[in-house]
């Protein structure tokens, strides 16, 4: 591979990508050299006329913006000026035993491939897209991207988001703005200030794009930048020299190793704020530790001799039901409530009813977030400023009481980043309430099915949501202390936190499996129309594969932006599953994808997710993959997928024949539906 550009004629040798893996015509992506005199050379990948990726400055041995390229020995690149006006970068073969190929693929990724003699195959050894931070200018101006932090983007110290609302929903393109004006700016505005600006040092950084270069020492570089009011940052490297920036600082990335030191100009007050912050943190840590120790001791003294036990008022009622005979589901309810009576209240934080009434403004309608089979859900704000979601058991709901008991037993034993967290509970007389962490962005359905919001979830975000839900289900099925079948997985039961991470909620209908169980049978069908697997809806059989079916439907809804019920225009209309199946067989993938998220560079990823969704929604439970296999499929771009068979319920009439009540055909949860088998005499 060799890239070059002639400084006099501007003629260049570039690397161009194919339009697609099967179409060798010239695509949108190409790679070229960008040079800033006297000594700054970078390699860019362009998507048309827009930058898509860059290597960072070349220091004579390595590209400083590629984290894994610490030692030139491992890559063998050469570059510089040949003395005839040509700036070049090329790869030199290190020895005869190793041979590498550099290729720009149709997705705009530069790949290094090599032959693996043990596996007897060509393998990708390195790619320019090592993380999402490698996409050019992901975080906007004056912000840094760190793929290992959450959120991914953060403003540089001394800066704040330009638009805090957009920033909080992970739309970072607006970038950040300076919090305190520079001394130079105040002088120009005739505002008196005696304190000179200073520099904040950022270490292990991929420095911003389009620097201006000078061949001077580090000290002179600093002085020149400080004396120039237009200079916003500088960096120095022995192999490159002095680099300075007078425009917006873009495409900054925080590395864990390698990179360069970047010195960002800030007002003197920001330097003082950093010093004061360190003192405050140390003092607060010491005081906080002492307070925690004291409070823990007081709490232990008060509770050690008075363990409160949650007593179930419905235990007698459940025992009567079991004595009269019932399904395994009915006996399971007894077990749930029996286990409930063994949970000590100190395992959960107890709330007084009065405090919750105050937090929700006496359960005012304006704070109501929604309504479920359990009862209403309210937004509340505690005295310490924490926001919570309060689920209040409806007094008229006998089913809700059982769900309440079930939900506490299930969720208090679970802890996973993709499951909603239980904060506490309240049991006073007839009042029974559960408190959860409040999710700023509400539920997934509010985004993907709302035309005014669905564009806020780009493809990368939707993929992260799909993967997060999959990991949450795998935890329920295999990795938690209990084996749990959710039985009501749907878009409205997936909540999104402020960083748009998915969290599975609503465990009132969940079922705990014993160690040897892998499926169960019930005559009381619970769940939601359109998400139930056929064996569960028509025979009462449920297992892990029932949740897998629901997950498959959910994948297709996330990709298409359409509800599974949105195709029910007449008696014989196709369901979403039927529509996707027909378009898939006709290889008409584009008609399925939500146009608000479509990008040709993501086509293969989106197509793969549709394929996985169809595999999960296959009619026979034995054909559906387990969640562990689903996650493996999602994380592997190269592993081949088996062809899916026809999904269940491709027509609306086939779903209606499963005997759902008409009032539940719009997406509500079904809490109590009986199925009667008719047998001839």
**Contact assessment for residue 259 and residue 145, using Cβ atoms and an 8 Å cutoff:** no
CA 169 – CA 163 distance, rounded (Å): 10
- Cis-peptide, bond into residue 151, ω within 30° of zero: yes
Structure token digits, residue 648: 């269940």
Asked if 433 and 459 sit in the same domain, the reply is no
Asked if 465 and 609 sit in the same domain, the reply is yes
Asked if 259 and 316 sit in the same domain, the reply is no
From 388, 407, 438, the end of a domain falls on: 438
Averaged over successive runs of 10 residues, the pLDDT of the chain (681 residues) comes to 82 91 92 85 92 92 85 65 82 69 91 82 86 92 90 92 91 92 65 72 93 91 91 93 93 91 90 58 76 77 45 38 42 43 51 89 87 80 90 66 70 83 82 88 90 87 95 88 85 92 87 60 64 84 90 94 65 75 89 83 90 94 92 84 84 48 43 37 30
The DSSP code sequence of 370-438 is: EE-SS-EEEEEE-TTS-EEEEEE--TT-HHHHHHHHHHHHHHTT---TTBPPEEEEEEETTEEEEEEE-
From 438, 462, 486, the end of a domain falls on: 438
Asked if 178 and 124 sit in the same domain, the reply is no
Buried-exposed string 463-479: b where 16+ CB fall within 10 A, e elsewhere: bbbbbbbbbbbbbbbee
From 219, 246, 273, the end of a domain falls on: 273
Asked if 214 and 324 sit in the same domain, the reply is no
292 falls within a domain: no
Q: Give the number of other CB atoms < 10 A from CB of residue 257.
A: 8
- The residue behind tokens 């994948």 is 555
SS3 state of residue 226: helix
Asked if 538 and 621 sit in the same domain, the reply is yes
Structure token digits, residue 25: 């015509």
594 is catalytic: no
394 falls within a domain: yes
Domain limits for position 54? 2-130
582 falls within a domain: yes
295 falls within a domain: no
665 falls within a domain: yes
Comparing CA positions, the residue from 472, 488, 491, 496 lying closest to residue 374 is 488
* 274-281: Cβ within 8 A, 24+ apart: 274/157, 274/200
Task: Specify the pLDDT at position 278.
Answer: 54
Task: Specify the pLDDT at position 674.
Answer: 34
DSSP-derived pairing of the beta strands 198-206 and 252-254: antiparallel
**Contact assessment for residue 484 and residue 350, using Cβ atoms and an 8 Å cutoff:** no
Asked if 556 and 631 sit in the same domain, the reply is yes
Asked if 500 and 427 sit in the same domain, the reply is no
CATH number of the domain at 248, please. 3.50.4.10
Asked if 66 and 168 sit in the same domain, the reply is no
Task: Specify the pLDDT at position 276.
Answer: 52
List the beta bridge partners of residue 417.
none
282 burial class (0-12, 13-18, 19+ CB within 10 angstroms)?
exposed
467 falls within a domain: yes
Asked if 115 and 165 sit in the same domain, the reply is no
The DSSP code sequence of 191-203 is: ----SPPEEEEEE
CA 108 – CA 28 distance, rounded (Å): 8
Asked if 100 and 151 sit in the same domain, the reply is no
Task: Specify the pLDDT at position 162.
Answer: 93
Structure token digits, residue 301: 């003294």
Q: How many structural domains are present in the chain?
A: 4
User: Which of the residues 334, 488, 547, 594 is marked catalytic?
Assistant: 488
Task: Specify the pLDDT at position 623.
Answer: 93
How big is the chain by its Cα radius of gyration, in Å?
Answer: 30
Asked if 472 and 582 sit in the same domain, the reply is yes
Task: Specify the pLDDT at position 81.
Answer: 81
138 falls within a domain: no
**Helical H segments across 87-182, by residue range:** 164-168
- Of how many residues is the chain composed? 681
**Contact assessment for residue 250 and residue 137, using Cβ atoms and an 8 Å cutoff:** yes
**Contact assessment for residue 542 and residue 519, using Cβ atoms and an 8 Å cutoff:** yes
CATH number of the domain at 379, please. 3.30.200.20
Model confidence pLDDT, tens digit, residues 395-405:
655 555 666 77
Task: Specify the pLDDT at position 161.
Answer: 94
289 falls within a domain: no
CATH number of the domain at 604, please. 1.10.510.10
Comparing CA positions, the residue from 61, 29, 34, 59 lying closest to residue 45 is 29
Model confidence pLDDT, tens digit, residues 454-512:
888 999 999 999 999 999 999 898 877 778 888 889 999 999 999 999 999 888 788 87
């Amino acid at each position: 591979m060799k890239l070059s550009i002639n400084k006099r004629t501007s003629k260049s040798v570039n690397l161009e990508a194919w339009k697609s893996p099967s179409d060798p015509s010239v695509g949108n992506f190409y790679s070229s050299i960008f040079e800033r005199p006297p000594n700054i050379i970078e390699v860019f990948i362009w998507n048309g006329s827009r930058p898509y990726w860059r290597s960072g400055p070349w220091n004579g041995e390595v590209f400083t913006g590629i984290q894994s390229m610490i030692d030139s020995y491992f890559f063998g690149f050469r570059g510089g000026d040949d003395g005839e006006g040509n700036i070049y970068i090329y790869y030199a073969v290190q020895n005869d035993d190793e041979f590498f190929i550099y290729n720009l693929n149709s997705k705009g990724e530069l790949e290094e491939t090599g032959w693996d003699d043990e596996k007897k195959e060509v393998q990708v050894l390195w790619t320019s897209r090592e993380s999402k931070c490698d996409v050019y200018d992901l975080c906007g101006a004056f912000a840094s991207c760190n793929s290992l932090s959450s959120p991914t983007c953060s403003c540089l110290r001394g800066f704040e988001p330009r638009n805090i609302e957009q920033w909080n929903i992970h739309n970072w393109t607006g970038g950040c703005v300076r919090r305190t004006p520079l001394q130079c700016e105040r002088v120009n505005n005739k505002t008196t200030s005696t304190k000179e600006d200073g520099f904040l040092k950022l270490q292990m950084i991929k420095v911003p794009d389009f620097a201006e270069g000078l061949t001077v020492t580090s000290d002179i570089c600093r002085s020149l930048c400080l004396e120039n009011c237009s200079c916003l940052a500088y960096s120095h490297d022995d192999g490159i020299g002095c680099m300075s920036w007078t425009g917006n600082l873009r495409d900054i990335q925080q590395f864990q190793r390698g990179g360069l030191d970047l010195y960002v100009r800030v007002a003197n007050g920001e330097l003082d704020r950093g010093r004061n912050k360190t003192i405050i943190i140390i003092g607060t840590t010491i005081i906080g530790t002492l307070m925690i120790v004291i409070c823990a001791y007081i709490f232990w003294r008060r509770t050690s001799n008075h363990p409160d036990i949650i007593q179930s008022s419905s235990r007698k009622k459940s025992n009567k039901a079991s004595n009269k005979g019932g399904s395994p589901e009915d006996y399971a309810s007894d077990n749930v409530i029996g286990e409930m009576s063994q949970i000590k209240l100190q395992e959960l934080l107890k709330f007084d009813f009065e405090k919750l009434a105050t937090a929700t403004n006496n359960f005012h309608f304006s704070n109501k977030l929604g309504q479920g089979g359990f009862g209403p859900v309210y937004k509340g704000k505690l005295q310490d400023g924490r926001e919570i979601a309060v689920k209040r058991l409806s007094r008229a709901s006998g089913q809700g009481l059982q769900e309440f008991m079930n939900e506490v037993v299930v969720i208090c034993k679970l802890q996973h980043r993709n499951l909603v967290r239980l904060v506490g509970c309240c049991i006073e007389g007839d009042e029974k309430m559960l408190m959860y962490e409040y999710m700023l962005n509400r539920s997934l359905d509010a985004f993907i099915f709302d035309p005014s919001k669905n564009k806020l979830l780009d493809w990368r975000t939707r993929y992260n949501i799909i993967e997060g839900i999959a990991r949450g289900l795998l935890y329920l099925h295999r990795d938690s202390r209990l084996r749990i079948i959710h039985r009501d997985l749907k878009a409205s039961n997936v909540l999104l936190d402020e960083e748009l991470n998915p969290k599975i909620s609503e465990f009132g209908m969940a079922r705990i499996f014993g160690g040897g169980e892998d499926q169960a049978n019930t005559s009381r069908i619970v769940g939601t129309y359109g998400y139930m697997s056929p064996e569960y809806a028509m025979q009462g059989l449920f297992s892990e594969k029932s949740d897998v079916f629901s997950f498959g439907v959910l994948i297709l809804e996330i990709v298409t932006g359409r509800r599974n019920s949105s195709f029910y225009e007449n008696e014989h209309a196709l369901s979403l599953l039927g529509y996707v199946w027909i378009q898939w067989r006709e290889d008409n993938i584009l008609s399925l994808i939500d146009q608000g998220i479509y990008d040709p560079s993501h086509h293969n990823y989106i197509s793969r997710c549709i394929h996985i969704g169809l595999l999960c929604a296959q009619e026979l439970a034995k054909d559906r993959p387990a969640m562990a296999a689903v996650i493996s499929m999602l994380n592997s771009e190269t592993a081949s997928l088996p062809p899916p068979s026809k999904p269940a319920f491709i027509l609306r009439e086939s779903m209606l024949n499963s005997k759902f009540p008409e009032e539940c055909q719009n997406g509500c949860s079904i809490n109590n539906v009986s199925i009667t088998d008719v047998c001839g005499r």
